[in-house]
Structure 1
């Protein structure tokens, strides 16, 4: 079955409906204008550059509406979008580009120098520059649009099982893997998340998550476009500007990562803005400490914790607003059309209150990793995606992500899940951020080390924090050491890079 063109249909039904707002450029586009731009770009890819079905197009850029033009142009032309994390070094980018082998590279003018360095180590036929002059053999983005036909491609070329995007994982465990996200994955994510928060064409979403990440590309952008609503795009996160935009555009649904919620809570002018238009505050990317949920609830804001993966389109779970505070710490129940179970290391399905690996199946699950058949076979077994996350569900059917399998450490023969320890540390009023890792110990095999960022102006000692954990955790779970740091290394999704923390500690 061929995919149905969402943007084309909205352009036909509600051509004058506001589809996109770009806060950086000031650009505002209706669905008719959105569709025309995507059509022109798709036509340009096929008839000017000669791209064929399955060819890759990489983009290296800050957040903008251009990401979504490129995404839907790929759907219209049967090509595949590969988004590049602009935080990566040139060698890291070169690894991804050489693995993905795109025929086209779209580059933001902010990364012109990166492009110069990258061109020395990769082979890409065509280069398109956003908002900048181009060399003789390259294209500017506006010239590419002008060269395309607004009628686009006569027939959609993409089927539900066809790859629409290749999103490389953050590489928290080593070399990044390119997760293949199909049109079907995008579609089921739009349906599942759309149903979970009752999205409609009246909704306005503000996206500040990186567009190169599954959160920025798929949440809530995909569901919003599927519903025919409006998306406001922020170039980069800035607390006060985010609050201003919520008030200005009467944003109704928003998804943020815990790191942003932690920063907003410490923003001095937070209470000066009218945020009452938001009916659904979502959180994903990493675990949201229950203490943060309760802090926001005291301000009248209910945060719905969810869970997803690049490999799952990305949505898997979302807590309802009614259960968000009562079940703080949980990620809720699976969204529509997504099936989950908990398995032990032998593949046996576990019951309630038993910790095991979260496994997922459904139309939102990836077909595998680009050029990595062994990794694909390891992750996709007997129809289930093995997530690598330790999880458990309770007697009411609510799931909790306990931690990553790899982050668990064993102290004195007992399993310690850092996320549980971190949730207790977050309850201390002087703690802004924390991460717990296991470090070697001659007697206990491993013990916990807590790395802590204190709130501005706050004072805290190692012993005070260890004493604070007494009585709240079993003794073997209490960190034996505390190290105070200025910041924690994070991925674009807000996840703490514990691999980097382990390397830092090991090097000392």
Structure 2
């Protein structure tokens, strides 16, 4: 594994005058740009501020803010000093954040103005620094702190508390070596270069907000536009202006873009690479982008894998609709059955992975860390896939989501893809519920166009699926409980009270 040298100093030496971060959060206009030389100077001064406020190597530094360039200033400042950054979920109230802070015990808490009240409610813990009131003046008067000579590959750079779809969050250890491995995997996977420009808008307490594609592109010397939150119209404007060349989104983002009134008239050609992850992109939605000349390349990974693991390529996106592509260059993958034995192409199995981008474990949770790995060191992802004869992989669902109905395995993602072919269906989530006859049956929660007939959903499924796969019940919902990445939280979906599942 490679040790790193000061990334911002190295990049400032190579391309001091190139634009690193462009702040679009202030409103209209081109945005305020920070060059690589400016980013290095600002991060060094911020590192001096951390030290002046009492932070020492190994201390945790929490940050509670919406997307803004200062987040990356703090990320690199922590690296220069040897502290661990802890991004906090601004969607959580103080009552939910308090146990997180008790777990990581940060020395300092930086926060934005939008989250001032939440931070102050947590003030009994770390010292507070307001990014909107205090930070600018404090950084400006602080002399740059000389960086550590080496950022060791195995040292932890930051902690990411996973939002989770099935249980309580845990803090994933993210090392400097993982950052470099993710950079290699992503750079070769999407041909990132210093001429690329990407948009940072996904929440920064999630791995996608940091690593897809922002941190790798900063390592490559490209330009990152920072938008405080997702706005479909603003994204289409940036595309029209030719300001974005690579774009990463989760399915919910692609859905909002496709539903925007200007989607059909916007020239999408300036974006040379479209990427999707966080959850499977349904086939029907992918086809809408193909019709507009945009090939959306699916991928799959998780916080624990850096996150880049699988990536599709444009040829695969065109010929292998629904595929997540192939494992990237610094990943080793196995697809195994319940006994840990490799399964042949065409059969469904769980993904196990090794590689330089895989986390060493969870913050102060040795039992959870041990449970996540096989005895010989393979990370058990819990994701189910199948491989075709050409080496392309297809997601089938999560191991915990698969259910058995009448002795037959049912994979919810297959049922969901079938339902998404119905013209009235926007989103769907299928979960298992107990049944006294069949053991388990499917229950479909559907977000649909107005006027969609529930009975037509069942008829639609019967024409596409075996009988045991057809959901026993359908319920229309206005929206779903979601994680920060837009994933539907299936563990929070429950049958309506009084529903007779056996009838």
TM-score category, normalised to shorter length? over 0.9
1:320-335 matches, within 5 Å, as 320-335=313-328
| 8 A Cα contact 1:172 1:499, kept in partner | yes
Distance in 2 separating the partners of 1:507 and 1:339: 48
| 8 A Cα contact 2:81 2:147, kept in partner | no
> Which residue of 2 is the match for residue 34 of structure 1?
39
> Which residue of 1 is the match for residue 22 of structure 2?
21
Distance in 2 separating the partners of 1:82 and 1:505: 38
Structure 1 residue 314 and structure 2 residue 318: aligned?
A: no
> Which residue of 1 is the match for residue 117 of structure 2?
113
Structure 1 residue 51 and structure 2 residue 55: aligned?
A: yes
| 8 A Cα contact 1:53 1:157, kept in partner | no
1:171 deviation in Å?
Answer: 3.0
| 8 A Cα contact 1:392 1:402, kept in partner | yes
1:361 to 315, 339, 354: 354
1:49 deviation in Å?
Answer: 2.2
Structure 1 residue 450 and structure 2 residue 455: aligned?
A: no
What's the secondary structure of 1:340's corresponding residue? strand
| 8 A Cα contact 1:388 1:404, kept in partner | yes
1:506 deviation in Å?
Answer: 6.4
Cα displacement string for residues 143-202 of structure 1 (whole angstroms, at most 9, x for unaligned residues): 33124323x324335200111110011132222100001001111001110011111100
1:71 to 66, 71, 75: 75
1:434 to 428, 434, 450: 428
1:367 deviation in Å?
Answer: 0.7
> Which residue of 2 is the match for residue 11 of structure 1?
12
Give ranges in structure 2 of 5+ residues lacking alignment. none
Distance in 2 separating the partners of 1:39 and 1:56: 17
1:306 deviation in Å?
Answer: 0.5
Distance in 2 separating the partners of 1:408 and 1:148: 55
Structure 1 residue 144 and structure 2 residue 138: aligned?
A: yes
What's the secondary structure of 1:324's corresponding residue? helix
> Which residue of 1 is the match for residue 227 of structure 2?
234
What's the secondary structure of 1:293's corresponding residue? helix
> Which residue of 1 is the match for residue 209 of structure 2?
216
Distance in 2 separating the partners of 1:486 and 1:154: 51
Give ranges in structure 1 of 5+ residues lacking alignment. 133-139
What's the secondary structure of 1:395's corresponding residue? coil
1:403 to 371, 394, 397: 397
> Which residue of 1 is the match for residue 458 of structure 2?
466
| 8 A Cα contact 2:119 2:128, kept in partner | no
**Alpha-carbon RMSD:** 1.5
What's the secondary structure of 2:351's corresponding residue? strand
1:118 deviation in Å?
Answer: 2.1
> Which residue of 2 is the match for residue 103 of structure 1?
107
| 8 A Cα contact 1:76 1:157, kept in partner | no
| 8 A Cα contact 2:242 2:270, kept in partner | no
Distance 1:266 1:322, change over 3 A: same
1:51 deviation in Å?
Answer: 2.0
| 8 A Cα contact 1:179 1:311, kept in partner | yes
> Which residue of 2 is the match for residue 254 of structure 1?
247
> Which residue of 1 is the match for residue 379 of structure 2?
385
1:116 deviation in Å?
Answer: 2.2
Aligned residues: 493
1:282 deviation in Å?
Answer: 0.3
